A and B are shown apart, each in its own frame.
Chain A
């Protein structure tokens, strides 16, 4: 589904991988290894070299917004461009159905961003991404600030998406989470990615 060939940028050695439908690849490695740079390069958020194909179609044949709706990146630190939570969700009906599955009441759409906790921000940002219905999700530590209960809910949603043939590339520091989600594990060190056999 997603085929990456020799993708590189400063700080990132050429990287290749094929990601199949419904596959979850877990990327681990120390901070500063270049995991975020890699996800950003796949989403085409920074200048990069190499080629990336989605269903055999080259990234450059998509407009950048089309590409990012299909291959959607979630950063560790969520960004908000308005004061009201609701403005960040174009479709309030589908948002209202999804949010309870992440442990957030549908009235969150009427809240102010300023009063959200870190964990609420993180789950709302994930919900925002899921509602774009991407084919590939690039998730940068989506559960790092969550309590175990919320973490389980997030993982349930991700497993459901995998069952719907969405592919996921996820960065995590938790080996337990890796065991629960991964079909494959990759390890990253100083900009170089290697298969994790352990």
Chain B
């Protein structure tokens, strides 16, 4: 195994591309230069911090600190999910629903992977647990954000169709089936697309990283497959859970649509 260690200068040279991009944006008046620089700066700081935190956590090897780190990741991703909704549930639900779905889906799938497939010693080893958890969480987050956004926007648009069915004596399950199905589908399409395109269109980042770090391609492929199955599983559980729970929250046991539980304010 030989891997080429990068010096800070090497990384800095690659950042030159971004400077050129920003200059292009200014020249073409795209108005993206500022956003691009801020995003890139955030990325650098966040990744450096996470590198430090991970190093400390790996040295500590404490299950408690590892869980705290996992929980922090979930709380941040919950905020991201909420920020991507154009309409939101009222009160605690706006943040809590997506976050809880991610907590359950991410934790269950990660524990499943750690205890039955990867089996590090000890099973909670941060070096293995946190990256796997992060990969699952990142993808589940995208799925849940898309699924919930689709549900929350279409339920308002389809209101008169849904209530017409209710008024004719259809059950809430029948009346909601269309919007729920579409929301679940839009949450799952990215993961389905990425499974079909993988290898042909793109060599995934994790696999690239492993190959650059000197791992045999077939070993990297096996890891990539494992991760993709875990991601697909976690995303499916998360999207199903979040969309169905949100549908449940927006209806009641008298088969009514409860859009009063949806905030009116629209965010950009």
Q: Which residues from chain A sit less than 8 Å from chain B, CB to CB?
A: 43-47, 63-66, 68-69, 72-75, 77-81, 125, 128-129, 132
B42 at the interface (CB under 8 A from A): no
B127 at the interface (CB under 8 A from A): no
Inter-chain contacts of B258 with A (CB < 8 A): 47
Contacts A45-B256, A47-B256, A65-B255 given; does A72 touch B169 at CB 8 Å: yes
Contact B164 A75 (CB under 8 A): yes
Contacts A43-B167, A72-B167, A73-B167 given; does A80 touch B161 at CB 8 Å: yes
Q: Which residues from chain B sit less than 8 Å from chain A, CB to CB?
A: 158-172, 175, 178, 252-258
- Among A44, A68, A78, A132, the residue within 8 A (CB) of B160 is A78
Contact A75 B160 (CB under 8 A): yes
**How far is B175's CA from A81's CA once the two chains are assembled, in angstroms?**
9
A-B contacts, 16 of them at CB < 8 A, read A45-B167, A45-B257, A46-B256, A47-B256, A64-B255, A65-B166, A65-B255, A68-B169, A68-B255, A72-B167, A73-B167, A78-B164, A79-B164, A80-B164, A81-B165, A132-B168
Inter-chain contacts of A72 with B (CB < 8 A): 167-169
**How far is B164's CA from A132's CA once the two chains are assembled, in angstroms?**
13
Contacts A75-B163, A78-B160, A79-B161 given; does A69 touch B256 at CB 8 Å: no
Cβ-Cβ contact count across A and B, 8 Å cutoff: 67
**How far is B159's CA from A36's CA once the two chains are assembled, in angstroms?**
15
Inter-chain contacts of B254 with A (CB < 8 A): 44, 47, 64
Inter-chain contacts of A81 with B (CB < 8 A): 158, 161-162, 164-165, 175, 178
- Among A44, A73, A80, the residue within 8 A (CB) of B256 is A44
**How far is B170's CA from A68's CA once the two chains are assembled, in angstroms?**
9
Contact B162 A75 (CB under 8 A): no
User: Nearest B residue to A60 by beta-carbon distance?
Assistant: B254
Inter-chain contacts of B256 with A (CB < 8 A): 44-47, 64
Contact B164 A125 (CB under 8 A): yes
Contacts A44-B256, A45-B256, A64-B254 given; does A79 touch B171 at CB 8 Å: no
User: Nearest A residue to B164 by beta-carbon distance?
Assistant: A79
Shortest CB distance A88–B (Å): 9
**How far is B167's CA from A73's CA once the two chains are assembled, in angstroms?**
6
Contact B161 A69 (CB under 8 A): no
Shortest CB distance B177–A (Å): 9
Contact B164 A45 (CB under 8 A): no
**How far is B46's CA from A145's CA once the two chains are assembled, in angstroms?**
60
Contact B169 A79 (CB under 8 A): no
Contacts A65-B170, A65-B171 given; does A79 touch B165 at CB 8 Å: yes
Inter-chain contacts of A75 with B (CB < 8 A): 160, 163-164, 167
Shortest CB distance A8–B (Å): 16
Inter-chain contacts of A74 with B (CB < 8 A): 167
Given contacts A79-B161, A79-B164, 17 further A-B contacts (CB under 8 A): A44-B256, A45-B167, A47-B258, A64-B166, A65-B166, A65-B169, A65-B170, A65-B171, A68-B168, A72-B167, A74-B167, A75-B160, A75-B163, A79-B165, A80-B161, A125-B164, A132-B168
Listed residue (B168, B252, B255) with the most chain A CB atoms within 10 angstroms of its CB: B168
User: Nearest B residue to A10 by beta-carbon distance?
Assistant: B260
User: Nearest A residue to B160 by beta-carbon distance?
Assistant: A79
Closest 3 CB pairs of A and B: A79-B164, A69-B169, A79-B160
Contact A68 B162 (CB under 8 A): no
Shortest CB distance B112–A (Å): 39
- Among A77, A125, A132, the residue within 8 A (CB) of B169 is A132
**How far is B165's CA from A66's CA once the two chains are assembled, in angstroms?**
13
